[in-house]
Amino acid sequence: MGQYAAPLRDMQFVLHEVLNVEAELKSMPKHADLDADTINQVLEEAGKFCSEVVFPLNQSGDREGCTYEGDGVVKAPAGFKEAYRQYIDAGWPALGCDPEYGGQGLPAFVNNALYEMLNSANQAWTMYPGLSHGAYECLHAHGTPEQKATYLSKLVSGEWTGTMCLTEPHCGTDLGILRTKAEPNPDGSYALTGTKIFISSGEHDMAENIVHLVLARLPGAPTGTKGISLFIVPKFVPDANGAIGERNGIKCGSIEHKMGIHGNATCVMNLDGAKGWLVGEANKGLNAMFVMMNAARLGVGMQGLGLTEVAYQNSLVYAKERLQMRSLTGPKAPEKAADPIIVHPDVRRMLLTQKAYAEAGRAFTYWAALNIDKELSHEDESVRREAADFVALLTPVIKAFLTDNAFEGTNMAMQIYGGHGFISEWGMEQYVRDARINMIYEGTNSIQALDLLGRKILGDMGAKLKRFGKLVADFVEQEGVKPEMQEFINPLADIGEKVQKLTMEIGMKAMQNPDEVGAAAVPYLRTVGHLVFSYFWARMARVALDRASDSDDAFYKAKLGTARFYFAKLLPETASAIRAARAGAKPMMDFDEALF
């Protein structure tokens, strides 16, 4: 079945030694009294829940999958409902939610850390509460007082779950051509008719009600994305007291048979005059839905991080135990028939790649979550604005870079296991299958790359990127004169300069031919991802150098060794990525379509 243990030591290192979150919280009045001990206790308990309750259901849930029982009824795999009840009873859904609606009011970075562990333990199960939290955030930001009173406490407690219903059979990312209709009813509600597909957690037996957030068009709405409205469409319509009432006209018509995440129900949802209530302004539903979409994109990045971590943990155990051949430099375990495969350079390359990607991804995403807290709660308006820019800029990088890396990392796990990796009972092939969807949904990774380059960077003439670049430049200036940091600072400064030049070059070319953005976007995002990882590896190396001089703790030696591996073996990917981005659109767009 494999194993999973929450990486608490590294989580605490990132939060307390790199990000210094306790001090940061002093400038956020609603979190100012939260201390490191409380944060650590929450993470420790979360780790126990994930490893003891959710992780044991991962393989069995994958083998059994969800069951469509007809007439809109879907059953989750055995044990999922019981685990979800324990999740509710322990108060985990409320962790990062508003106390006004029954939440515990903890910072976003604590909730983020919880979701890393949940995704390592069982991504398919985690999608049920994960989407619910996104629905909570959307309604918290855009719901009417009446909608908040009806739905938020139920979502916060976990009694009700949530979904986002965007995709239709003929349109995915291009929501401007969706066809679902919303006709006004005399009572102020709307009757929604249409079909949505690929709806994760769209139907199940784990909660008593499901709150669907559905995009649809009002009569006479403008064409394109400017004519989209957002509606609450509950499975059961709440009565005057907020309890579940009549069955609504939204039902699951079937579930998809998928490559991975078998334990999560991916549904075709049919709306036949289903009652819905408008969220926010008419024809501005996409703006409201982006709260949930951005939350989902950050959440998918955490899925990538979670899978990278659990794949690494299992790869490491196997590599230390599996005997195969002798070391090229002579036997390392002469008392055994062969050496453990961890002695071989290429196995170490794969292990260190997983480790480097997991640890940098953890620092990056925890920092991003801390910036969400700053955006929402910091007492200084200028800090709030800067934090919002960082989150907006780097959300596509979190979604795409971390999930690309996770697919590479899980494939490496399968490779380390050799033939056993290809066999289901060992669990590695499931991680590969589960990781593959993360590069597709919530906006494919190529869409994230277009968003980063075309909208987030060129769209504001590089203003947001310059803000992040200043963080890098300030750190380079501060540490660049210190001899012990040269091996980390020099490559960081180099990639920072290269990103700046590449951005200007693509921007100039795009003025002449917009296809240049599409041609460069994917390798450009890989390059920016490495800039971000280089920055955080240099910051972690600085802390590790300081601690290692005062301590014999092997943790800091490992951190420095992993940093050196990252800069020597992984950052050089940017040379080919930059070259590919500079190659431009001509080799693709000049190719005659008839010759394909």
- Determine the Cα–Cα distance for residues 360 and 398; give it in Å rounded to an integer: 11
Distances (CA, A) of 175 to 221, 229, 379, 450, 512: 14, 11, 37, 16, 28
Phi, psi for 21 (deg, rounded to 5): -65, -30
- Determine the Cα–Cα distance for residues 254 and 156; give it in Å rounded to an integer: 28
Q: Which residues make Cβ contacts (< 8 Å) with residue 164, sequence separation at least 6?
A: 131, 134, 135, 199, 213, 289, 292, 293, 296
Q: Other C-beta atoms within 10 Å of 220: how many? A: 7
Contact (Cβ atoms closer than 8 angstroms) between residue 264 and residue 200: yes
Cα angle, residue 508 at apex, residues 505 and 510 outer, rounded to 5° = 105
Q: Which residues make Cβ contacts (< 8 Å) with residue 443, sequence separation at least 6?
A: 173, 293, 297, 396, 399, 451
325 sits in the region (left: phi over 0; alpha: psi -120 to 50; else beta) called left
Catalytic residue among 442, 487, 497, 505: 442
Active-site annotation holds for 442: yes
Which among 406, 399, 409 has a CA at the least distance from the CA of 368? 399
Q: Which residues are catalytic?
A: 442
